[in-house]
Structure 1
Amino acid sequence: MIVPFYLGEQPDSEGRAITEIWAWNFEELEYVHNYIQWLFPLPEPSAFNSHAPIVDEQVIQSFHSNPRLRQNLLHSFTVMLQFYGLQRQESEDGKIIISKSEDYGNRKGEWVCMFNHNYLRITRILKCLMTLGLENEAQGFYECLRQIYQEDSNQIGSKTFHYWTIAVKGNEF
């Protein structure tokens, strides 16, 4: 179900097209909770959404081999970066850099705070990017999150940062 959804050929379990979700405002992205599993699917079931898709090896290979799927995943990632007040850039040598945007000061209050559900979303995003072929974006995002954690470790917490680290580095860090 996830490949046709990502290609814009089929809606999610709630009848929403991917382009509709991409067009949501920040309030919708914050308060609707059953879309993140569709934008960033994983190989394991969601503890929060029984209708969430689960990717298998065939889906993973589809994302790795189909540039349009990866481009649409990158679009989903860009939508969430904007929500977090972050931006994606590519350096001259091709390195992906995620950094704070001009809107970071306004957006930070929505998610950099104790026990925020967006921390779980970020773990999911990192894992998904690593699984579906956008490892460079995941690494760039992690580096940005590491800097934010250094500034606000009292709000994020070491356990959360540990989950983010495992999401991009596995258990070998």
Structure 2
Amino acid sequence: MGNLLGHWRVKEPSTVEECDSTWGSDSESDEPAAEEDSGISESVSPAGSERAAEDNGDSSHKLTDSPESPPKMKRSFYAARDLYKYRHCYPNYKKSRQPNEFLNLRFYLNKIPLVPDGIYIEEILTRWRGDYDKLEHNHTYIQWLFPLREQGLNFYAHELTQDEIKEFQSTREAKRRFLAAYSLMLDFYGIKLLDKSGNVSRSSNWQERFHHLNESQHNYLRITRILKSLGELGYEAFKAPLVGLFLEESLHRNTLPNMQHSILEYFVYTIRLPATRRRLLRYARRHYRPAHAFLWGPPPKRSRFKGGDDGASVGAGSSGIRAPAPTPEPQRRGDKSFISSSACSGTLVSSHDAVVCHDVSAEGMNTYTGMDRLEGVLIMKGEGNKYAEVVPL
């Protein structure tokens, strides 16, 4: 029995719907007003033929059968599956048999340089700030500055382990440098970190940096890594302010139009608390143009009817079948996001998927804050008093 349990693996989701629990835990009182649902496309819940195409590839869009029809956009299963694994702490993660040398932590303690460049963290933090050409064209440092429990493009960098994460979070010097590295990258993108709560705003040179960021789209892959690493190393609450700023700039101010699809397909879904994702997506949906092309929910209102003896409810999507709910995601105490609401225009442009597949793997001082409430859940804690499972009450 012990050997059987040792080889047990969690069944991974096979559709976008199974990967995304953002709206699955929504309550009727938490639903948006009826008029907000009028712009949702029925393609949010793809039917049989679309779902088959989704399972066979990770393209972010497909053409309809009619040559005269415009391209019909769809969500990327690659992105949904990748972020499902991240939010659920890599359910099929295999512990390495190699001794844990804590190389990421030692790098942040300035004891070893990053490989292959031979550069120490202190040199990066003190000499690279403002050197935008170096930050743009060097492609080996980002995996060391923002480590994950998954392999990046720099195969000299080392994946995080659970033990290393625990040790990192309890080491003040490492955490101080990690926040300095985060501030360094925000400055590169035209953003400044305002405080230790993760609030952010435009920097003084935001126009120049936003123009670069809008055109240099490989940085969207870097931002996804940064957001993931924030969550791994104890800064989950920092994500919503940054994602909120990007939504504001791309959808309302139209300063980062090329980033829209990456924000909605990737950045939002690095956030582990569904309530926070819902708030961000509702804001996005109010400002997204064209409204009918918004793919990220909320789904159409569910019609309830009796099914069998238990009176089960079924979703009213195009398939008529409600996808099974995935494993509940970890919940964190935290935050309440604020984003202003105004009309905007924008274009749906996706480059993030192409970058991932290719690489295989106003002037106003607007402040974006982050704070989420802990909804009614039962938290099952495991080793080290860390949450292992969250069960809705």
Structure-2-length-normalised TM-score: 0.40
Q: What are the residue-to-residue correspondences of 1:5-24 with 2, within 5 Å?
A: 5-14=107-116, 15-22=118-125, 23-24=127-128
Q: What displacement does 1:142 show?
A: 1.8
For residues 13 and 156 of structure 1, the distance between their equivalents in structure 2, rounded to whole angstroms, comes to 30
**Which residue identity does 1:40 align to in structure 2?**
F
Q: What are the residue-to-residue correspondences of 1:28-43 with 2, within 5 Å?
A: 28-43=134-149
Residue range with higher mean Cα deviation, 145-154 or 9-18? 145-154
Render the CA deviation track for 1:17-63: whole Å, top value 9, x for unaligned: 012222221110000011100000110111x2211220010111012
The total of aligned residue pairs comes to: 168
Whether the 8 Å contact between 1:129 and 1:137 is mirrored in structure 2 is yes
For residues 124 and 158 of structure 1, the distance between their equivalents in structure 2, rounded to whole angstroms, comes to 16
Q: Report the CA distance shift for 1:171/1:13 in structure 2 as closer, same or farther (over 3 A).
A: farther
Whether the 8 Å contact between 1:89 and 1:97 is mirrored in structure 2 is yes
Whether the 8 Å contact between 1:40 and 1:125 is mirrored in structure 2 is yes
Whether the 8 Å contact between 1:88 and 1:97 is mirrored in structure 2 is yes
Q: Pick from 50, 61, 68: which aligns with 2:155? A: 50
The structure 1 segments of at least 4 consecutive aligned residues displaced by more than 6 Å after TM superposition are none
Task: Tell me what 2:57 maps to.
Answer: none
For residues 4 and 160 of structure 1, the distance between their equivalents in structure 2, rounded to whole angstroms, comes to 32
Task: Tell me what 1:73 maps to.
Answer: 178
Task: Tell me what 1:121 maps to.
Answer: 222
Residue range with higher mean Cα deviation, 142-151 or 11-20? 142-151
Task: Tell me what 2:211 maps to.
Answer: 109
For residues 122 and 197 of structure 2, the distance between their equivalents in structure 1, rounded to whole angstroms, comes to 28
Q: What displacement does 1:159 show?
A: 4.1
For residues 10 and 44 of structure 1, the distance between their equivalents in structure 2, rounded to whole angstroms, comes to 21
**Which residue identity does 1:56 align to in structure 2?**
T
Whether the 8 Å contact between 2:189 and 2:213 is mirrored in structure 1 is yes
Give the superposed CA RMSD.
1.9
Whether the 8 Å contact between 1:149 and 1:161 is mirrored in structure 2 is no
Q: Whose radius of gyration is greater, 1 or 2?
A: 2
Task: Tell me what 1:145 maps to.
Answer: 246
For residues 55 and 171 of structure 1, the distance between their equivalents in structure 2, rounded to whole angstroms, comes to 25
Task: Tell me what 1:59 maps to.
Answer: 164
For residues 133 and 141 of structure 2, the distance between their equivalents in structure 1, rounded to whole angstroms, comes to 13
Structure-1-length-normalised TM-score: 0.88
The percent identity for this pair of structures is 30
Task: Tell me what 1:88 maps to.
Answer: 193
Higher relative contact order (CA 8 A, sep 6+): 2
**Which residue identity does 2:141 align to in structure 1?**
Y
For residues 6 and 116 of structure 1, the distance between their equivalents in structure 2, rounded to whole angstroms, comes to 27
Aligned to 1:169, what secondary structure does the other structure show?
Answer: coil
Q: Report the CA distance shift for 1:31/1:171 in structure 2 as closer, same or farther (over 3 A).
A: farther
Task: Tell me what 1:163 maps to.
Answer: 266
Q: What displacement does 1:169 show?
A: 3.2
For residues 170 and 148 of structure 1, the distance between their equivalents in structure 2, rounded to whole angstroms, comes to 23
**Which residue identity does 1:155 align to in structure 2?**
N
For residues 167 and 135 of structure 2, the distance between their equivalents in structure 1, rounded to whole angstroms, comes to 27
**Which residue identity does 2:133 align to in structure 1?**
E
For residues 34 and 101 of structure 1, the distance between their equivalents in structure 2, rounded to whole angstroms, comes to 26
Aligned to 2:199, what secondary structure does the other structure show?
Answer: strand
**Which residue identity does 2:123 align to in structure 1?**
E
Q: Report the CA distance shift for 1:122/1:170 in structure 2 as closer, same or farther (over 3 A).
A: farther
Aligned to 1:3, what secondary structure does the other structure show?
Answer: helix
Residue range with higher mean Cα deviation, 22-31 or 140-149? 140-149
Gaps of 5+ in 2: 1-102, 278-393
